[in-house]
Chains A and B, each alone.
With several copies, the nearest count.
Chain A
Amino acid sequence: MTAAGAPGAGRLRRWLERERVFKWLPFVPVQGLFALLLLPNFLLLVYLSLLSWRITRGAWWNAAFTGLDSFQRALEDSRFLWALARTFAFAAVAVPLELLLGFGLAMLCRRSFRGRRIYTSVFLLPMMIVPAVVGYDLSMLLIDQGPFNQLLSLFAGRTVTVRWLSEYTPAQLAVIGADVWQWTALTFLVFTAGLAGLPEEPIRAARVMGASRWQIFWHIELPLLKPVIAIAVILRSMEALKMFDYPMLLTQAGPGNATETVAVYLWRVGWEFARVSDAAAMSLILLVAVAMYILVAIRVLRRERRRLTEEGAV
Chain B
Amino acid sequence: MAGIRLERLGKVFGATRAVDGIDLTIPDGEFVVLVGPSGCGKTTTLNMIAGLEVPTSGDIWIGDDRVTDWEPGDRSLGMVFQSLALFPHMTVFDNIAFPLRVKRVAPAEIERRVRAVGDTVHVGHLLAKRPATLSGGEAQRVALARTLVVEPSVFLMDEPLSSLDAKLRVEMRTEIKRLHGTLRSTFVYVTHDQAEAMTMADRIVVMHQGRIQQVGRPLEVYGNPANRFVAGFFGVPAMNFVEGELHAESGGARFVAQALGLSLPGQRLGSGPAVLGVRPEHVRLVSAGESWPAAVSLIEPLGDATLVFLDYGGPSSLVAKVDAEEKLAVGDRRSFTFRRDRIVLFDAATGGRLST
- Please list the residues of chain A having a beta carbon within 8 angstroms of any beta carbon in chain B: 1-3, 5-8, 14, 17, 19, 199, 201-202, 204-212, 215, 219-220, 223-224, 226, 307-308, 310-311, 313-314
* Residue of A1, A2, A209 most packed against chain B (CB within 10 A): A209
A212 to B87 CA separation, bound complex (whole angstroms): 16
How many A-B contacts at CB < 8 Å in the complex? 106
Pairs of residues from A and B, 9 with the lowest C-beta to C-beta distance, nearest first? A210-B73, A201-B85, A311-B88, A209-B99, A205-B85, A223-B89, A310-B132, A311-B132, A6-B74
Instruction: Tell me if A5 and B88 are in contact (CB < 8 A).
Output: no
Chain A binder among B30-38, B46-54, B290-298:
B46-54
Given contacts A209-B98, A215-B102, are A307 and B89 in contact (CB under 8 A)? yes
User: What chain B residues lie within 8 Å of A2 (beta carbons)?
Assistant: 69
Q: How far is the CB of B83 from chain A (nearest CB, A)?
A: 5
Contacts of A313 in B (CB 8 A): 132
User: Contact check: which of A6, A7, A224, A307 meets B132 at CB < 8 Å?
Assistant: A307
Minimum C-beta distance from A245 to chain B (A): 38
Whether the Cβ atoms of A210 and B102 lie closer than 8 Å is yes
CA distance A8 to B77 in the complex (A): 17
Q: Is the beta-carbon distance between B88 and A307 smaller than 8 angstroms?
A: yes
Q: Are B102 and A5 in contact (CB under 8 A)?
A: no
Decide: A6 and B71 in contact? CB cutoff 8 A.
Answer: yes
B81 contacts which of A5, A205, A212 (Cβ < 8 Å)? A205
Given contacts A204-B85, A205-B81, A308-B88, contact A314 B131 (CB under 8 A): yes
Interchain CA distance A226-B52 in the complex, whole Å: 26
Q: How large is the interface on B (under 10, 10 to 19, 20 to 34, 35 or more residues)?
A: 35 or more
- Nearest Cβ distance between residue A194 and chain B, in whole angstroms? 14
CB distance B150 to A209 under 8 Å? yes
Distance in Å: Cβ of A132 to nearest Cβ of chain B: 40
Bound CA–CA A8/B83 (angstroms):
30
By the criterion CB–CB under 8 Å, are B72 and A210 in contact? yes
- Measured between beta carbons, the chain A residues less than 8 angstroms from B51 are 207-208
* A198 CB → nearest B CB, Å: 11
Residues of A within 8 A of B156 (CB): 208
Q: Are A208 and B73 in contact (CB under 8 A)?
A: yes
CB distance from A206 to the nearest CB of B (A): 7
Contact indicator A224/B73 (Cβ below 8 Å): no
Instruction: Kindly state the separation between the CA atoms of A208 and B146 in the bound complex, as whole angstroms.
Output: 12
Question: A207 with B52: in contact, given A3-B74, A201-B83 (CB under 8 Å)?
Answer: yes
Q: Nearest chain A CB to B88's CB is how many angstroms away?
A: 4
**Contact mask for chain B residues 88-116; partner A; CB cutoff 8 A; 1 contact, 0 none:** 11100000001101110000000000000
Q: B124-162: which have CB < 8 Å to A?
A: 130-132, 134, 139, 146, 150, 156
The answer to whether the Cβ of B204 comes within 8 Å of any Cβ in the partner chain is no
Residue B84 CB within 8 A of the other chain: yes
Q: Which of B67, B78, B83 contacts A208 (CB 8 A)?
A: B78
Interface of A is mostly: helix
Q: For residue A211, which residues in chain B have a CB less than 8 angstroms away from its CB?
A: 73, 98-99, 102
Interchain CB contact under 8 A, B102 and A209: yes
Q: Contacts A1-B69, A207-B72 given: A219-B88 contact, CB under 8 Å?
A: no
Would you mind naming 9 contact pairs between A and B with Cβ atoms under 8 Å apart?
A: A6-B71, A14-B71, A19-B54, A199-B85, A204-B52, A209-B98, A210-B73, A224-B88, A314-B83
A204 to chain B, nearest CB (A): 5
Q: Is B81 in contact with A201, judged by CB distance below 8 angstroms? A: yes
Whether the pair A3, B81 counts as a contact (CB closer than 8 A) is: no
Q: Closest approach, in angstroms, between the C-beta of A177 and any C-beta of chain B? A: 35
In contact, B87 and A220 (Cβ under 8 angstroms): yes
Given contacts A199-B85, A308-B88, 17 further A-B contacts (CB under 8 A): A6-B71, A201-B83, A202-B88, A205-B79, A205-B81, A205-B87, A205-B146, A206-B87, A209-B102, A209-B150, A210-B71, A210-B99, A212-B73, A212-B102, A307-B89, A311-B130, A313-B132
Interface contact B102-A314, CB-CB below 8 Å: no
Residues of A within 8 A of B131 (CB): 311, 314
Q: Which of B54, B87, B134, B150 counts the most chain A CB atoms within 10 A? A: B87
A313: nearest chain-B partner, CB-CB: B132
**Chain B 59-71 interface 0/1 with A at a Cβ cutoff of 8 Å (1 = within):** 0000001010111
Q: Is B98 touching A206 in the complex (CB atoms < 8 A)?
A: yes
The answer for the CA separation of A308 and B65 in the assembled complex, in Å, is: 41
- Interface residue B86 (Cβ < 8 Å from any Cβ of A): yes
A307-B71 Cα distance, complex, nearest whole Å? 32
Task: Name the residue of chain B whose CB is nearest to the CB of A223.
Answer: B89
Kindly report which residue of chain B lies nearest to residue A216, judged by CB atoms: B102
Q: Give the chain A neighbours of B90 by CB distance below 8 A.
A: 223
With beta carbons under 8 angstroms apart, the residue of A19, A208, A308 that contacts B79 is A208
| Distance between Cα atoms of A283 and B327 in the complex (Å) | 88
A8–B104 Cα gap in the complex (Å)? 13
Shortest CB distance A112–B (Å): 13
When chains A and B are docked, how far (Å) is the Cα of A166 from the Cα of B94? 55
CA–CA, A14 to B72, complex, Å?
12
Judging by beta carbons under 8 Å apart, are A5 and B65 in contact? Answer: yes
Contacts of B84 in A (CB 8 A): 201, 314
Whether B102 lies near A6 (C-beta < 8 A) is no
The reply to whether B88 and A314 form a contact with Cβ atoms under 8 Å apart is yes
Assembled-state Cα–Cα distance A307/B88 (Å): 8
